[in-house]
Amino acid sequence: MRALFNLPAPAKINWFLHVTGRRPDGYHTLQTVFQFIDWCDALDLVRREDGVIRRLGADNLPEEDLCVRAARLLQRAAQCAFGVDIHLRKSIPQQAGLGGGSSDAATVLIGLNRLWQLGLSHETLMQLALQLGADVPIFIFGRNAWAQGVGEELQAIALPTPWFAVVHPARGLSTQAVFSALDLTSQKPEAKIAGFAEWLKQGCAESLRNGQKQGQQQKQGQQGSRFMPAGMWGRNDLQQGAMALEPDVGRALVVLREVLARQELQPCFDGRMTGSGSAVFAWVCGSGQCDCGRLNPSVNGHALCALPANWQGRLCQGLAQHPLRHWIDA
């Protein structure tokens, strides 16, 4: 095998993000639920015989980006003589809280484990992923998950796969800066997975029914009662600090609601920032089992229309698992 082409590196959203403390090494402990979405970067990996690792493409990323670091870490760990040319095609916005860079690095580890025929275990790849960053292990884990610790304590969780509207303002946010602005003096008690699961079972079903009813009324030309999205479970403890650092995060939540209203799409729940921002998202009502492109003709290619200049937004479907999970299962 000489090359692998068009390997997907999916984005993720955080349904909530609770920061529970700070370790002596400076890392923050947290609780969150990760879900993969179908907004993906793509990578080509071409094997080299000379051991050289290089990244190709004019994408304004540094030469020593996380993809190159992942390849070199794997090369050292496996004592591999091969090298690789990495061609990364970015689609996921940077500094958005969508995990694009972490996902790219994980796809490099997964792809090179196969391309170089290393045969490293899932557990070994997870250990290597954690050395690259706290968000990288979830993309090796390969399943939507409840996460604790610094993000490496993962428990698989079954999630629905609805459509999410995601909006990213023109400017991103530094994760380090957002965590530096965090006030840990008033944090709430740790949550339990059972509480989230119960909300998922009951609250989601009710909100989806309301959204589907509203959609039927709109199709039939009925006025109906004013739809009010329900509150999301938990919170994002980083959102307030992120909004102080970048006011466009708050503006993005307003724009998200306005864009969905113009495109006759209803959010099931209040919008929320994902990760450390600056992207925000909302679950789109009534879209769990349908193509949003058919739901409304104004939705073109899953891109959200009428956004401010240099903003990005699209409708993304939640995924039940990582697209390369069949390569990384233990």
What are the tokens at 25? 């090494």
> Would residue 12 show up in a list of annotated catalytic residues for this protein?
yes
3 state SS of 72:
helix
103 touches 286 (CB < 8 A): no
**Candidates 38, 135, 237, 248; catalytic one:** 135
How many CB atoms sit inside 10 A of residue 225's CB? 10
Note the helical H segments in the chain: 66-78, 100-115, 122-132, 136-141, 175-180, 193-219, 239-245, 248-262, 292-295, 325-328
Q: Which residues contact 284 (CB under 8 A, 6 or more apart)?
A: 162, 163, 164, 165, 211, 260, 265, 266, 267, 268, 292, 315
CA–CA distance, 244 with 251 (Å, rounded to integer):
12
**Candidates 12, 41, 44, 248; catalytic one:** 12
Residue indicated by tokens 């090359």 = 3
**Environment class of 313 (CB within 10 Å of its CB; exposed 0-12, middle 13-18, buried 19+):** buried
319 touches 37 (CB < 8 A): yes
φ, ψ of residue 119 to 5 degrees: the values are 70, 25
> Would residue 213 show up in a list of annotated catalytic residues for this protein?
no
Tell which phi-psi region holds residue 51, choosing left (phi > 0), alpha (psi between -120 and 50) or beta.
left
141 touches 106 (CB < 8 A): no
Residues marked active site are found at 12, 135
